[in-house]
Amino acid sequence: MTEETDAASDVGLHGPVLVVGAGLIGSSVAMALVRAGVETYVTDSDPTTAHVASSRGAGSDKPMATEPELVVIATPPDALAAEVAVALDAFPDAVVTDVGSVKAKPLAELRQHRNDLSRYVGGHPMAGSERSGPLAAAADLFDGRRWAVVERSDCDQAALALVKRFARTCGADVVTMSTEEHDLAVARTSHLPHLMAALTAGQLTQAPTEHLALSGQGVRDVTRIAAGDPQLWRQIVTANASALTVLLTELRGEVDVLLESLQSGDGEPVQRILTAGAAGAGAVPGKHGAPALAFGTVLVAIPDEPGALARLFTDARDAGVNIEDLRIDHDPGRAFGLMEIDVDERDVETLIKALRTRDWSAHR
Amino acid sequence: MTEETDAASDVGLHGPVLVVGAGLIGSSVAMALVRAGVETYVTDSDPTTAHVASSRGAGSDKPMATEPELVVIATPPDALAAEVAVALDAFPDAVVTDVGSVKAKPLAELRQHRNDLSRYVGGHPMAGSERSGPLAAAADLFDGRRWAVVERSDCDQAALALVKRFARTCGADVVTMSTEEHDLAVARTSHLPHLMAALTAGQLTQAPTEHLALSGQGVRDVTRIAAGDPQLWRQIVTANASALTVLLTELRGEVDVLLESLQSGDGEPVQRILTAGAAGAGAVPGKHGAPALAFGTVLVAIPDEPGALARLFTDARDAGVNIEDLRIDHDPGRAFGLMEIDVDERDVETLIKALRTRDWSAHR
């Protein structure tokens, strides 16, 4: 995977661009292009949907006068390969891209019908919503989000460059990766989390209302994405079946470990799974794509006395723990300041133990 | 379960209150009591921790001059039953409560040691943080949150009333329930979601950094709570083993269904699980404890023409779908307004289909 930055040669799109499919993503793409001054057309199998999108600022739903420079296929996953093939045939000089969540399966379908796919370059913006349709669309949906552009050896280089320019014109940051790498990455970071959210939320349908009254922010966060359109997600999940089967099989093994651990009363396997979970939660990049590092934070009280910080760092060094980052927060009027120390998640318990034996008040 | 409101007879605490355990919850309880003007003392097995809590405004860490009116046990789950017993012995006139996440197991332990538990009333505030220790504590942690007070037939009624007053003094809304009901409710709304978040996050530890770059808000939300202290959560999860075993066994069955569905290519079971997930996500009460109702929202475009709304409601009624709530949002300068219609989650697809056949543009 490579992260791309704007190059001097990176001129804008000329247009026109034709967006096929006026759902949430298609309409948002069209609105982002219109925002950038690109001549944009939008179609949908349902003309009313295209008309609604157009009336919300997603370009024109009238017939195009000239051939498009770029066609963006934004249909549901099941229809994707067929629509890419239609566009390649209908517009013999246009570049064709898509915004589908899965890449290998539609590509395999396309290869059954065509030998030359050089003008097709797959893409996938990392943006969405629990809502769907043109009414939920927004021109800024992709601003600052990642947009995966899928490189293949049989892609035309100019087509590849055009699709990257298109993604940037929509406000996104481009990352390039292979077809297989993409599908495994999204299985991990999107499709498996969605299934887990759905399974957790599904359990709640059996709970009496009185039990749900104890819901806090935690369960709200875990289940939020499960509200997404079940029909759309069925298509996504089944299209990425092979990558998901590997991950779900591993996960079922961990559920078995948990069950055995709970039944035997030996808490060690539970603790191992919870510790791995804490490391994984720390590895998810922050909102602004901060580096993915499995850090944990240790909070230490710093007495307001000379040499306290020097003593703390000496004690941490003696514990063999590397400090990755730190923040100090002195609360005026208290005898103690508060230091947040970021260390490798696996070192968190070691550091807390070491500091406590040296009379520091340290907590996760 | 009963939701309690302040009664005319609901006078405040007299104090003093002794808080045993100066972690996140104990220190926050003490700070909330101090905020309410209640004389508060805080102790901890680690005197430095108690001193830090005290210096942050969580009452006094000095010895008490008089017997406390109420003792609040806020130790980790494993130490809870022993500390409740110590407090009942040490203060023969005090009421004793706790803030533990699990209720049946410590109660069973207590019963092995004492016959008379009338002065003990268990409690559980629905508040927390991924952080722990007095340094992360806050006086407003419980404001507007639910606080489960566990009623038992052998509880002294005055003790029960005092513990409810205490929870309200901390800023919380009291709900009363039985021991068993409480443990099953939190298994569903807190402990199982935590395990699912940990399993999902644990999968990410095996992912290359490039894959994590595709992480969006969805996976961040699903995994956030997995960052919680693994040692504390191991105690919570193992203490609630029997309720969790039932739920995890059901869940493993659903994982098997998913795997079989992905392998066979029959998407129907996947769709069933995703639909149940959407219903469950809708059933989680909102931030402000809004009623738990499994609603889904349908977005409909309303043309700016006479009688459009009347026609919409007639069409919805003809579809046999009950409208629970609605919001209209007319965007000036567009030919369409946007109507959000809340219906029973199970009716969402029915309504969309019915409206579309009647030429409405309707989306989830």
Strand order in the sheet with B323-330: B323-330, B336-344, B295-303, B362-363
Which tokens hold the place of A189?
Answer: 């970071």
The H helix count followed by the E strand count for chain B is: 14, 13
pLDDT, position B171? 93
- Per-residue pLDDT tens digits for B221-238: 999 899 888 998 999 999
The partner residue sitting opposite A274, judged by closest CB among B200, B234, B300, is B234
Asked, for residue A203, whether it belongs to a domain, the answer is yes
Query: Taking the model in full, what pTM does it have?
Result: 0.73
Q: For residue A289, what is the nearest residue in chain B, using CA coordinates? A: B213
- Banded model confidence at residue A288, pLDDT cuts 50, 70, 90: very low
pLDDT at A180 over 70: yes
Q: Do B196 and A196 touch (CB under 8 A)?
A: yes
- Per-residue pLDDT tens digits for B183-198: 999 999 999 999 999 9
| Measured distance CA(A172)–CA(A123) in Å, rounded | 12
- Banded model confidence at residue B8, pLDDT cuts 50, 70, 90: very low
CATH number, position B197: 1.10.3660.10
Contacts of A335 in chain B (CB under 8 A): 55
- Find the domain containing B212 and state its range: 185-264
Do B109 and B140 belong to one domain?
Answer: yes
Q: What is the DSSP letter of A342?
A: E
| Measured distance CA(A28)–CA(A23) in Å, rounded | 8
* Of B38-42, B45-49, B276-280, B301-305, minimum mean pLDDT range: B301-305
Q: Do B238 and A193 touch (CB under 8 A)?
A: no
Do B221 and B312 belong to one domain?
Answer: no
* Of A53-62, B168-177, B211-220, minimum mean pLDDT range: B211-220
**CB-CB contact of A342 with A296 (8 Å):** yes
Peptide bond between residue A16 and the one before it cis (omega within 30 degrees of 0): yes
Distance from CA of B179 to the nearest CA of A (A): 12
Number of Cα atoms under 13 Å in the Cβ half of residue B98: 26
Which of A223, A238, A248, A305 should we substitute to test contact with B (largest number of B Cβ atoms within 10 Å)? A223
Distance from CA of B248 to the nearest CA of A (A): 7
Asked, for residue B280, whether it belongs to a domain, the answer is no
CATH number, position A317: 3.30.70.260
- Per-residue pLDDT tens digits for B227-273: 888 998 999 999 999 999 999 999 999 999 999 999 999 999 999 99
- Per-residue pLDDT tens digits for B136-161: 888 989 988 899 999 999 999 999 99
Distance from CA of B313 to the nearest CA of A (A): 19
Last residue of one domain, picked from the residues B264, B286, B304? B264
Please state the domain count of chain A: 3
pLDDT, position A316? 81
**CB-CB contact of B175 with B151 (8 Å):** no
Do A71 and A200 belong to one domain?
Answer: no
The CA angle B263-A244-A292, to the nearest 5 degrees, is: 175
pLDDT, position B358? 87
Q: For residue B329, what is the nearest residue in chain A, using CA coordinates? A: A135
pLDDT, position B286? 64
Asked, for residue A273, whether it belongs to a domain, the answer is no
Beta bridge mates, A301:
A338
Selection from A133-142, B3-12, B62-71 with the highest mean pLDDT: B62-71
A50 residue type, one letter: A
Do B56 and B168 belong to one domain?
Answer: yes
Do B163 and B226 belong to one domain?
Answer: no
| Measured distance CA(A40)–CA(A30) in Å, rounded | 6
Do B61 and B144 belong to one domain?
Answer: yes
Which of A215, A261, A264 should we substitute to test contact with B (largest number of B Cβ atoms within 10 Å)? A215
Burial class (CB in 10 A: 0-12, 13-18, 19+), A345: buried
Which of B3, B145, B214 should we substitute to test contact with A (largest number of A Cβ atoms within 10 Å)? B214
- Residue the block writes with tokens 């996104």: A172
Strand order in the sheet with B95-98: B40-43, B17-20, B70-73, B95-98, B120-121
Q: What is the DSSP letter of A139?
A: T
| Measured distance CA(A110)–CA(B153) in Å, rounded | 69
Which of A212, A233, A331 should we substitute to test contact with B (largest number of B Cβ atoms within 10 Å)? A212
- Banded model confidence at residue B117, pLDDT cuts 50, 70, 90: very high
Contacts of A205 in chain B (CB under 8 A): 276, 279-280, 283, 294
Asked, for residue A269, whether it belongs to a domain, the answer is no
Which tokens hold the place of A215?
Answer: 């819901």
Asked, for residue A278, whether it belongs to a domain, the answer is no
Helix/strand/coil percent split, chain B, to 5:
50, 15, 35
| Measured distance CA(B30)–CA(B53) in Å, rounded | 9
**CB-CB contact of B172 with B29 (8 Å):** no
| Measured distance CA(A186)–CA(A128) in Å, rounded | 14
Contacts of A188 in chain B (CB under 8 A): 203-204, 207, 211
Kindly report the average pLDDT of chain B as a whole number: 87
* Of A151-155, A248-252, B106-110, B330-334, minimum mean pLDDT range: B330-334
Kindly report the average pLDDT of chain A as a whole number: 87
User: In whole angstroms, how far apart are CA A249 and each of A280, B215, B248, B255, B262?
Assistant: 18, 22, 15, 8, 11
Distance from CA of B38 to the nearest CA of A (A): 21
Q: Do A259 and B249 touch (CB under 8 A)?
A: yes
pLDDT, position B131? 73
Contacts of B1 in chain A (CB under 8 A): 210, 213
Average pLDDT of the segment spanning A219-225 = 91
Do B312 and B248 belong to one domain?
Answer: no
Beta bridge mates, A60:
A41
Do A158 and A241 belong to one domain?
Answer: no
pLDDT at B203 over 50: yes
- Banded model confidence at residue B130, pLDDT cuts 50, 70, 90: low
Q: Which residues contact B8 (CB under 8 A, 6 or more apart)?
A: none
Distance from CA of A312 to the nearest CA of B (A): 16
pLDDT, position B4? 53
Runs of H (alpha helix) within B205-302 = 209-212, 217-223, 230-239, 241-264, 268-283
Task: Tell me how crowded residue A1 is: count the other CB atoms within 10 A of its CB.
Answer: 17
The β-bridge relationship of strands B295-303 and B362-363 is: antiparallel
Which tokens hold the place of A178?
Answer: 């292979």
Do B148 and B7 belong to one domain?
Answer: yes
Beta bridge mates, A18:
A41, A71
Task: Tell me how crowded residue B306 is: count the other CB atoms within 10 A of its CB.
Answer: 8
Do A106 and A226 belong to one domain?
Answer: no
Contacts of B250 in chain A (CB under 8 A): 203
Contacts of B21 in chain A (CB under 8 A): none
Asked, for residue A283, whether it belongs to a domain, the answer is no
Average pLDDT of the segment spanning B100-124 = 94
Nearest to A131 by CA among A218, A223, A224, A205: A224
Average pLDDT of the segment spanning A243-267 = 95
**CB-CB contact of B226 with B237 (8 Å):** no
Helix/strand/coil percent split, chain A, to 5:
50, 15, 35
pLDDT, position B282? 86
Do A32 and A113 belong to one domain?
Answer: yes
The per-residue DSSP string of A179-218 comes to HHHHHHHHIIIIIHHHHHHHHHHHHHTTS-HHHHTT--HH
Flag whether the ipTM exceeds 0.85. no
Asked, for residue A250, whether it belongs to a domain, the answer is yes
- Residue the block writes with tokens 């050089």: A118
Helix (H, G, I), strand (E, B) or coil at B117: coil
- Residue the block writes with tokens 């309410």: B36
- Per-residue pLDDT tens digits for B25-54: 999 999 999 999 999 999 999 998 999 899
Number of Cα atoms under 13 Å in the Cβ half of residue A82: 6
Quick one: CA dihedral B115, B120, B125, B130, positive or negative? negative
Do A196 and A167 belong to one domain?
Answer: no
- Banded model confidence at residue A169, pLDDT cuts 50, 70, 90: very high
- Banded model confidence at residue A213, pLDDT cuts 50, 70, 90: confident
- Per-residue pLDDT tens digits for A8-62: 345 578 889 999 999 999 999 999 999 999 999 999 999 989 998 998 899 999 9
Whole-number percent of chain B with pLDDT over 90: 58
Number of Cα atoms under 13 Å in the Cβ half of residue B119: 20
- Per-residue pLDDT tens digits for A112-154: 989 999 999 999 998 877 677 888 888 989 988 899 999 999 9
Asked, for residue B277, whether it belongs to a domain, the answer is no
- Per-residue pLDDT tens digits for A326-352: 666 655 445 566 777 878 878 888 898
pLDDT, position B29? 98
Q: Which residues contact A242 (CB under 8 A, 6 or more apart)?
A: A104
Contacts of A339 in chain B (CB under 8 A): none
pLDDT at B339 over 60: yes
Distance from CA of B252 to the nearest CA of A (A): 7
Contacts of B175 in chain A (CB under 8 A): 210, 213-214
- Per-residue pLDDT tens digits for A289-322: 343 446 778 888 877 676 777 777 778 878 888 7
Q: For residue A265, what is the nearest residue in chain B, using CA coordinates? A: B238
CATH number, position B86: 3.40.50.720
The partner residue sitting opposite B277, judged by closest CB among A201, A277, A278, is A201
